Structures are given as structure tokens and as C-alpha cells.
Amino acid sequence: MKKILKNIEGDRAIWAIVTVLAIMSFMPVYSASTNLVYVVNMGTPSYHLFKHFVLLFLGFLIIYAVHKIPYKYFSSGSVLMLPLVVVLLIFTLTQGTTIGGANASRWIKIPIIGVGFQTSTLAGVVLMIYVARYLAKNKEKKIIFKESILQLWAPVALILALILPANFSTTAIIFSMILLVTFIGGYPLKYIASVVGMGVLLLALFVLTAKAFPGLVPNRVDTWISRVESFSSGDTEEGYQVTKAKIAIASGGIKGRGPGKSIQKNFLPQSSSDFIFAIIVEEYGLIGAILVMTAYFFLLLRIMIAAKKATSIFATLLIIGVGLPIIFQAIINMAVAVHLFPVTGQTLPLISSGGTSIWMTCFSIGIILSVTANRENSVEDSSNDNPLEILHETVG
């Protein structure tokens, strides 16, 4: 054990928080998996618990392997990965797996282990690193919008356009995070406003095209519309899920029903993934909900501390770019469960079951730990101008 601890580098607090979140996930996943057993007829609760353990174990191996890589290599790696990501997204869009008879062209099956992989999550991480790289390389140059369109926004637009038809919520999260990182990285606000305007126009064009030619993008635009409608009416299947989630939360009280005693897990189709927060509240009550939210809050705090202590602009933007989406995704998942957001299909990072979400979250955590582990080696790459300090001074 001492040997393992000696080889672990980086922010120990982040290691501890991630471990706590992983441990907290076992009982809710084990309990909620009964839905998959008795409703979908998939395995046993013990099988799903073991599968979740294996996925988390592999996730921690990913963290360990990635945090040993000097963070500078991720800069050039993002450029090399962009073409591969584009190919994967095109393949996924055309050959993606159909789940439950519905169009779900966002997954590809990994043949050896038989686990579905959501390529858009990998694309999001690669894109955030690429944006951080661009901003860091142009930190001392005057940014010209026309030049940045080709170098920055063209790759962003291409990848988001490939994700959008199958996954609007992931597209929106990635785009929002990119805008935040570009703002912190000193990209002119007037140009960001222009990008937002163009993004809205392109989204409207896509929706109108999809409505005019329904066979082009089957199910997805109608699904988005129905989710927005169900957010207010509650009449559709998504409305049914949110209703059951609210019943679960309301019946949890202060202390909850107790571990494994959830009733609504038998009615919520995505009780072990998208709506696991509702099951946590039903079984562990307000106390359980506060514990989960506190863990994510401390993770956010450590991410911001790591970003502020980073010795280069690229390191700071890298931490923010791959770290904040984890917190943002957690907030959205919990907000959906309490009916503050429409259903998005976003999982609760490190707690929900599912290989892709766990692995890509662990990949992002590994990158953050790589920066904190290599802080002393990055002085030659450093700039005295930390973007967070610049932003603080500007706002102040």
C-alpha cells in the first residue's frame, strides 16, 4: 500500500474526493440496478455491482496512467486526436447502436469487452484541450477574428455539428464550456458574442432542416421538442420519469427510507444512471443529497485552487476546460431530478453506472492531476499572467 501511495502524485485532496465519490456510488448503483434485473431482465444486482466495480477500477487505472503523463504532451496530443475524433463521430453517427428500438446513434460497441462507448464525451475532452492550446499559444498576440475562425472555430463547429444530431445536451454543455474558457483565456468578448449569434443561427437552421426533411435526422429534433414540452406539461415519457423522480425525492425526507429501500427505482427507467440522484435522496434523504453536493463542491474548490496555482496559461485553461464540465454535468443531472431542467440524459459523474461517463471523467481528473503533479517542472513554460488573476483584476 505504501508503494502505491508513493507513486501517487498530484493534488491529494482531488484523489480523496474522487475516491469518496466512487465509494458513495456502490450502494445506489446496487440498489437501483434491480430495475435492470426485474424490468429489463438484464443480469442480477450482484452482476451490475461487479460490473460497476470493474468500470471504476479501470477508471482509476486511467487516472493513474494519465496523471503520470507530463501535461504539456496533451497540447500536441489534442491536434493529433482531432482527426481521429472526427472519424469516430462520423462512424458513430452512421453506425451507432440502437437502444430499445429508439435511435441512439451516439454509442459504439467496444468488441472485446462488450461495453458501449459514447464518442461525444471523448470529443468534448479533446476539444477543450485544443481550445486551451489555441488560447495559450496566442496569449501575447492580438487575436484577429477572421484568423481565429479557421484555426479555432472551424474545428469546434465541425465536431459540434457531428455531435448535435444525436446529442443536443452534450453539444450545449461543450459549447458553453468552450465559451467560458475562451472568456477566461482573454478572447475578446465582442467576438464571443458573434460566435454565440452564429451558433444560434446554425442551430435554428439545423432544426428547420430536420423538420422539413424528417428522414434526415430521425427522432432527435422531435425528442428535443417533446422534452421541453414535458418540462412544463409532464404528459410525455420524460414527464413520467421526472414525476417519479420527484416522488422519490419527496418521500426521502431528512434521513431517507434506508439503503436499498427505494420504491421508485422500480418505475424509473434510468434509475441507475440519469436519475440516480433521485434514488440517493429517496434512500438517504436530505442528508445523502447534501453529502453528494458537498463532495462536488469540494471538487470544484480544488479544481479552482489547482487552476489558480498553475504556472502557465495553458495549464490553467486546461484544468478549467476539463474540470468544470464535470461539475456542470453534475449540476445538470441533479437539476433534472428536481425538475429545474428538462431531461437531458446526462449522468452523475463517478456515481452513475456506465463505462463512458466514468472513464472520460477519470481521464479528465487524470489530466488535472498531471498538471498539479508537474507543477514544479512547468516553470519554463510559465507566464506571470495567470488568466484567473487577470479575470479577477478585470472584474474587480
pLDDT digits (tens, 9 = 90+) for 202-256: 888 888 877 777 666 555 666 666 666 666 555 555 677 788 888 889 988 898 8
Q: Is the pLDDT of residue 103 over 70?
A: no
Q: Is the pLDDT of residue 395 over 50?
A: no
Span of 103-117, 178-192, 238-252, 271-285 with lowest mean pLDDT: 103-117
Give the pLDDT confidence of 152-163 residue by residue, as tens digits: 999 999 999 988
pLDDT at residue 106, as a whole number: 62
Question: What grid cell was written down for 154?
Answer: 472551424
Question: What grid cell was written down for 266?
Answer: 422500480
How does residue 386 score in pLDDT terms, banded at 50, 70 and 90? Answer: low
pLDDT at residue 41, as a whole number: 54
Q: How far apart are the first and last CA of the chain?
A: 47
pLDDT at residue 119, as a whole number: 86
Please report the beta strands in the chain, taking only residues with DSSP state E, as ranges in sequence order: 107-110, 115-118
Domain that holds residue 271: 2-395
pLDDT at residue 99, as a whole number: 47
Q: Is the pLDDT of residue 102 over 50?
A: no
Could you give the CA distance from residue 145 to residue 134 in angstroms, rounded to a whole number?
Answer: 13
pTM for the structure as a whole: 0.86
Cα 186–Cα 144–Cα 89 angle in degrees, nearest 5: 80
For 20, residues 6+ apart whose C-beta sits below 8 A from its C-beta are 295
State what percent of residues in the chain have pLDDT above 90: 44
Total domains present in the chain: 1
